[in-house]
Amino acid sequence: MKALKPHLLALPDYPYTMAQALIKLDQNESPYGLPPELKAELAARLAELPLNRYPQMHAEALAERIADFEGWPAEGVVVGPGSNTIIFALVAAAPRVLDVSPSFVHYAHSAHLLETPYQAVPLGPDFSLPLEELTAALTGDPGVFFLPNPHTPTGAFFAPERVSSLCQAAAGGEWLMIIDEAYYQFAPADLKRQAQGQEHVGILRTFSKAWGLAGARAGYLLAAAEVARVARNMLPPFGVPAPTALAVELALEHPGYVAEAVEKVRRERERVYLELKAHPTWKAYPSHTNFLLIITPDAAAAYQGLLKRGVLVRRQDHIPGLEGAIRVTIGTPVENDAFLQAAFDIAKEERGKEKEPEDATGED
């Protein structure tokens, strides 16, 4: 296909495969979503929406609402149809990309699609932040440095003072540092205040996780006005559909439901984590997100074993450094109970298979 850039034909697809299961715990979605009364209000507002008209060019009214909610200058707010589109825009604008490894795959995927030079610095033991190595990397030719915090796909939370030291290093090297806070509501702190007044630091957030609006597709960047203007220009005009803007505006009018949903997820996250400590072969890592990373002896076998029992999770073993890893979203208590039951049933099945040769020969 000579009509397309050759490197695009050779690139693998984005690493996600759809599957069907009774219990869906594979995409870090909220198990709760909008409360019923807000859904009813949204339906009423949608009925009045003129869908024959284009939406605003860059969702300016929604950007104003987000600016009020976040206490951020409106000229520094960029709204996109999902935070991944803003990541793609920033990578397109950047001369190079710095990342950690493992990390959210969309940073690298975007860089490879756009042929933007890409470097990833491996995390330290137990997914700790490698300050010395990252500081050294930030002395190189500048570009955009993406740091998810809380971190995906591990669930780790990097202490604000450690991230702040990297912000200082980025300033010295004239880098733009983007702190991806997709899961900040589930963590003990966020870094918005540290970013305010620092023109080289931006905060990326989404409505897909704690807000329960993954299907609406909306994310936003909080940045300096100059950075925001470039990112905004890199996004297609009229990119945020009017129904999406309407749903997000309604949610921003009633943010109280988010705190309640987050607290439920936090409690369940800790319960599931503690119960998995008793699993004979799986190791769950502590998390400050709405998911748990679990290292298993065989990710493919764990995935298929759970799927056979009606539970869909996400394999992560394609990511360097995460051999044997799966990721499970924290769902409702009933969904989490089903996952735990399936996880321990798999362990029993594995033990049974180990005993079969002995039983067949009659040996003790």
Among 309, 213, 314, 201, smallest CA distance to 257 is for 213
**What pLDDT is attached to residue 113?**
97
- Indicate the burial class of 193 (C-beta count within 10 angstroms; 0-12, 13-18, 19 or more): exposed
Strand partners, 312: 24
Overall CATH class of domain 6-30+257-349: alpha beta
- Total-model pTM: 0.94
Give domain limits for the chain. 6-30+257-349, 50-253
Look up residue 227 and give its two tokens: 């950075």
CA distance 154 to 103: 8
Segment 124-139 mean pLDDT: 96
CA distance 200 to 225: 11
Q: How confident is the model at residue 358 (pLDDT cuts 50, 70, 90)?
A: low
Look up residue 180 and give its two tokens: 């991806």
Segment 291-295 mean pLDDT: 98
Q: What is the mean pLDDT of the chain?
A: 95
Q: Compute CA distances 82 → 66, 123, 195, 244, 312, whole Å.
A: 14, 26, 21, 10, 23
Domain 50-253 in CATH 3.40.640.10? The answer is yes
- The 10s digit of each residue's pLDDT in 242-284 is 999 999 999 999 999 999 999 999 999 999 999 999 999 999 9
CA distance 257 to 248: 13
CA distance 46 to 67: 23
Phi, psi dihedral angles at 178 (to 5 degrees): -110, 115
Among 71, 33, 8, smallest CA distance to 212 is for 33
- The 10s digit of each residue's pLDDT in 294-352 is 999 999 999 999 999 999 999 999 998 999 999 999 999 999 999 999 999 999 988 87
| Contact predicate 59/245, CB 8 Å | yes
3 state DSSP class of 224: coil
Among 230, 221, 228, 227, smallest CA distance to 192 is for 221
